Structure 1
């Protein structure tokens, strides 16, 4: 009897010991770090406007109505929405060189009405830059109509009319809000269009989220920019920013005689054959088409107010499209995109590529 009792007691203690060890092992195991793996997935986003053959915006399409290619490779659209409710950041870039001075009052009035109607309270922001021999940020991104109205009132030619030093300054950071032209250039001869687009894209738009668009009011005649047109366009593309370019030229200025323009330089174009000066229209068209925006020209057929109304309608009726490239690493550099509607008589307006930056 005694022996049997001891045997049963020993067996019971052995079972308890096994359970305790097992529980301890389980606890220790659960506390060990678990290996995790993360994969960075690149999502390419694009905004598109679709029109019929009559130029009317089409608002009723689905993702199945589109085909998409990257570098000639078919892609699958994974994200699609017809109503873009994302925040909007607008950048207004106004040319204030001598050739534009007679147009500034009209530009101020139309721009004030556009921003007042376009910006949604507590959701959208806008900033304002003017450029001639300087690129000056008059108002950083804000939703305040009062601040934007004051900035529009300040749109005018830069005060600096003497030769500019070689230092470009620190725009818009470092306590400065101006970016100067090349060394030895003067305010009279400067129109830093390319520099203005680059700075607006690289230093302002790049940090913003949501939809982004630059609106440029200019005759397209760049003079004195340190950067090239291609560099300016690349900056806008890297910042996922569309450019809406409005060609607004004063024909009286360019038709003046050899001494009628500013120092006979910008105003003296009338003395030279057409091919001797840059084609402002082609420059403005390229800024728009290469970034997925749109080109407009103020003239007898359409006023600046009518153009602003078209831009407003377009920005409120875009398709937001996103996809993940079929190649995990397409390679650094620029990749061509082709978005098309399956119905042949529809015209799709969007950017034609993106930069893959690792």
Structure 2
């Protein structure tokens, strides 16, 4: 597997524990998010708090102090510098199972799975089929000069996908475009029409900052709503769909930064290549002209790595007007996923990278597609990025 530098972070964002996020009380809807999560403990919103959780599966979350309603009803201007910090030791893994024919397997049970953390077997604390969990989708559209002649296909396929996959009053999506720099053109909403309006306004121009776009999308949008504190599983599925040719030339963040931030915020990345370079490459072997997988460009390989490291899938359409089929396949996967959560044995916040392996022992031909690991990292100072749209759970 590609090596990810465990030290490849910057000071813009830090997470306390596995998949943890810090919730700022100046974010509109933050109180609603916390109230709607089935969290056993609600930290006081007075001064920054760090609450370590026991890593034993039998450990009980700490009992909070009772007076919370007053803090929730404070004037937001009085709370703007307050940050709640929570250590989350629970590891959530969203994944898909395929059979020998590469078809989705949706009917497995908890007892069918085994999971390992760095070769150590783990007890599955939570298991569920994820078809009913709310979706939070980030649509990341490459609007650089390199895709100018393909942008109309991007727009149409993206709009069709959102209209088909978003469930009313349950799922939400946002739209980010990127060329020289990322820009959120539509915050989280369940209104597919509003998403369509912003997507169709996009115009191509400039360079390509893919890694910056992934990093900022995870920090600014897909980290909301916050993970429940303690040992409770996540309350939404966090998905990113990246449409690009994969050729980054302007990012300040590295590929390792982008992958790590996606893993730390439990974001699954699906990538769709819009590259046409493979057509010229295929001329060296006309017999393989009809099979796109034989002609992966350097950008394609980057898109493949981004997807595989986070538990997603990379798509390489034969023609750019085949994007609709790629989106349909993604929609099918989102309706047939599983989630496992576990408390790692001997868990230490030492920044080390842990490999995750999930198997279906009684079905040797089954393939599990999940993120490859996580960083056991804790940072003392955790700046937060408010999400104006709220991304509330419904």
TM-score, normalising length: structure 1: 0.71
**Aligned equivalent of 1:155:** 202
62, 67, 81: which one aligns with 2:128 = 81
Structure-to-structure mapping, 1:156-195, within 5 angstroms: 156-158=203-205, 187=206, 190-195=207-212
Q: For residues 301 and 248 of structure 1, what CA distance do their matches in structure 2 show?
A: 6
2:138 touches 2:241 (CA, 8 Å); kept in 1? yes
270, 293, 304: which one aligns with 1:244 = 270
**Aligned equivalent of 1:47:** 94
308, 323, 326: which one aligns with 1:304 = 323
1:99 touches 1:250 (CA, 8 Å); kept in 2? no
**Aligned equivalent of 1:182:** none
Change (3 A) 1:60 1:37: closer
Q: For residues 181 and 111 of structure 2, what CA distance do their matches in structure 1 show?
A: 48
Structure 1 residues 30-87: Cα deviation after superposition (integer angstroms, max 9, x where no partner):
xxxxxx9939772211111101010111112112111110011100112111243111
Give the match's secondary structure for 2:204.
coil
**Aligned equivalent of 2:183:** 136
Q: Structure 2 unaligned segments of length 5 or more: list them.
A: 1-59, 64-86, 226-234, 282-296, 379-394
**Aligned equivalent of 2:373:** 353
* 1:251 Cα deviation from its structure 2 partner: 4.1
Change (3 A) 1:81 1:293: same
How many residues align? The count is 271
Structure-to-structure mapping, 1:51-130, within 5 angstroms: 51-130=98-177
* 1:96 Cα deviation from its structure 2 partner: 1.1
TM-score, normalising length: structure 2: 0.65
Greater fraction helix: 1
2:90 touches 2:342 (CA, 8 Å); kept in 1? yes
Q: For residues 213 and 82 of structure 1, what CA distance do their matches in structure 2 show?
A: 16
Give the match's secondary structure for 1:220.
coil
Q: For residues 41 and 92 of structure 1, what CA distance do their matches in structure 2 show?
A: 27
* 1:206 Cα deviation from its structure 2 partner: 1.5
Q: Structure 1 unaligned segments of length 5 or more: list them.
A: 1-35, 159-186, 256-277
Q: For residues 360 and 143 of structure 2, what CA distance do their matches in structure 1 show?
A: 40
Q: For residues 113 and 184 of structure 2, what CA distance do their matches in structure 1 show?
A: 39
Q: For residues 116 and 79 of structure 1, what CA distance do their matches in structure 2 show?
A: 31
Greater relative contact order (Cα 8 A, min sep 6): structure 1 or 2?
2
Give the match's secondary structure for 1:123.
coil
Structure 1 residues 102-160: Cα deviation after superposition (integer angstroms, max 9, x where no partner):
111111111111000101111111011111112111111111122101111111125xx
1:77 touches 1:322 (CA, 8 Å); kept in 2? yes
330, 335, 340: which one aligns with 2:359 = 340
Give the match's secondary structure for 2:348.
coil
Structure-to-structure mapping, 1:319-334, within 5 angstroms: 319-329=338-348, 331-334=350-353
1:220 touches 1:283 (CA, 8 Å); kept in 2? yes
Aligned CA RMSD, in angstroms, stands at: 2.4
* 1:254 Cα deviation from its structure 2 partner: 8.2
205, 219, 230: which one aligns with 2:222 = 205
Moved more, 37-46 or 77-86: 37-46
Structure with bigger gyration radius: 1
**Aligned equivalent of 1:164:** none
